[in-house]
Amino acid sequence: MSAPGSADLVIVANRLPVDRVTLSDGTPGWRTSPGGLVTALLPVMRANDGIWIGWPGGTEQDLEPFDFEGLSLVPMAMSAEDIENFYEGFSNGTVWPLYHDVVAKPQFHREWWDSYVAVNQRFAARAAEMASEGATVWVHDYQLQLVPQMLRNLRPDLRIGFYLHIPFPPAELFQQLPWRRELLEGLLGADLVGFQLNGGAQNFVRLVRQRVGHKTHRDLVYLDDGRTVRASAFPISIDAAGFEELARSEAVGERARAIREALGNPRKIFLGVDRLDYTKGIYPRLRAFSELIIDGHLDVEDAVFVQVATPSRERVEQYRILRDDIDRLVGHINGDLGKIGKPAISYLHSSYPREEMAALYRAADIMVVTPFRDGMNLVAKEYVACRYDNDGALVLSEFAGAADELRQAWLINPYDINGMKTALLDAYNADDRERTRRMRPMRKQIIQHDVVAWADSFLEELAAVRPSHGKTVRPARRS
């Protein structure tokens, strides 16, 4: 057992919530990256003097722990090889496609696995060094599934939670993985394993029973050493009040009007906002929209589709292919169907600040979210949060985790182009009453279940799994 450090709450995630920037005087500095996870964890980190361990991006080597805007950050260095094998390889070339219904073919390479083990071990060692006696350590996501057990071996005194942000697949897919048992055992090092949906938690428990041979009952796993592990669903959410406040602001309202103006004040604006990822179903969505124009149901004089697609993981081949495919599709659609000053699709690769995102959500009449598989999908929730007038229409894939909560959306199957066309058209033609009837309950859901409630409920449940073990973390807000 290694000697304890001083942090009572340790967050371990692949990325630190900051990005490297060059300051105006030419020196390197940091900027907080506006992810939802920081928003969720900031209050609880403040209440407990928490620290965050993660990779700052890039290959800088000797970075010391530092404080930034009230956050205590502990950078983990990565070499070019770590990035290639651990991050782009095993994390994004094996686990990501395997856990998303094998939408793309996962690749299995032994050197990727070796690197995954080595990097997970380094994260575990660093967390073991920093955590105080009986501290709570909360490990995040698919890049770090081995950390819980590695950490428990080093520090059995800790309370360890793990949260998976992406889907956990059914046994039929998971068992393709040559290292399936190692991954399950890695996760079982946690006291609480959190998933987006019940289905993921059930898949996990079933696999643990079948593949590792532990006794299970409902959401509990009974280990041979007497410890129990709970596997439950904690659907992640957003800072709903924060988004609504932004959307209500004068500046965002003004910007939303300017966006509509710049698009030629069409009757209706469709909007898609995604990382450029093959799980997000961008291709069939744009095809469905273009076919509605070809069929004469929509006219480019009346309707435009704004698709924001931020390039990501561009060194992974499948992502480069996808980007080329979508670029080509948009070119074809606009070439065939657009008119001068009236493209059918307004296609943007940019990344925007939160204000601009809120303005886009305000400007859009129909939000189109059509992933083939998605852990949750925060874009759908952000759109709902910004529609404070109970207006706007959401077309949502039933394969997004968000569909479990946003039942009143126009739910679609992204593999069914005709069904998607019908839903897009229904949402386009829906009257005010219909839109409000659907939007109101969805808003209520998002406001009641925001991201701080999510973090608090996970940490409360973690404290409850073994109440006599370890210190208790103070929640940011009692819900």
Which residue's CB is nearer to ligand ADQ, number 216 or number 232? Answer: 232
Residue 37, CA atoms < 13 Å, CB-side half-sphere: 19
Which residue's CB is nearer to ligand ADQ, number 380 or number 463? Answer: 380
- The minimum distance between CB 275 and ligand ADQ, in angstroms, equals 5
Phi, psi of 437, rounded to the nearest 5 degrees: -55, -35
Which two three-digit tokens encode residue 371? 């992933």
Contact criterion met (CB below 8 Å) for 432 and 223: no
- The minimum distance between CB 251 and ligand ADQ, in angstroms, equals 17
- The minimum distance between CB 381 and ligand ADQ, in angstroms, equals 8
Contact criterion met (CB below 8 Å) for 129 and 121: no
- The minimum distance between CB 64 and ligand ADQ, in angstroms, equals 29
**Residues in contact with ligand ADQ by the rule CB under 6 A:** 36, 165-166, 236, 273, 275, 308, 310, 350-352, 357, 374-379, 382
Which residue's CB is nearer to ligand ADQ, number 292 or number 322? Answer: 322
For residue 92, give the nearest of 278, 236, 235, 284 by alpha carbon: 278
Which residue's CB is nearer to ligand ADQ, number 205 or number 236? Answer: 236
For residue 414, give the nearest of 330, 308, 288, 277 by alpha carbon: 288
- The minimum distance between CB 81 and ligand ADQ, in angstroms, equals 25
- The minimum distance between CB 376 and ligand ADQ, in angstroms, equals 3
Q: How far apart are CA 479 and CA 176, in angstroms?
A: 41
Which residue's CB is nearer to ligand ADQ, number 184 or number 451? Answer: 451
Q: How far apart are CA 472 and CA 474, in angstroms?
A: 6
Which residue's CB is nearer to ligand ADQ, number 35 or number 156? Answer: 35
Contact criterion met (CB below 8 Å) for 305 and 346: yes
Q: How far apart are CA 274 and CA 308, in angstroms?
A: 6
Cα→Cα distances 317→47, 104, 105, 324, Å: 43, 11, 12, 11
- The minimum distance between CB 357 and ligand ADQ, in angstroms, equals 5
Q: How far apart are CA 361 and CA 381, in angstroms?
A: 11
Cα→Cα distances 438→407, 419, 443, Å: 9, 19, 9
Which residue's CB is nearer to ligand ADQ, number 293 or number 379? Answer: 379
- The minimum distance between CB 309 and ligand ADQ, in angstroms, equals 8
Q: Which residues pair with 19 in a beta bridge?
A: 31
Which residue's CB is nearer to ligand ADQ, number 143 or number 377? Answer: 377
| Cα-only R_g, the chain | 23
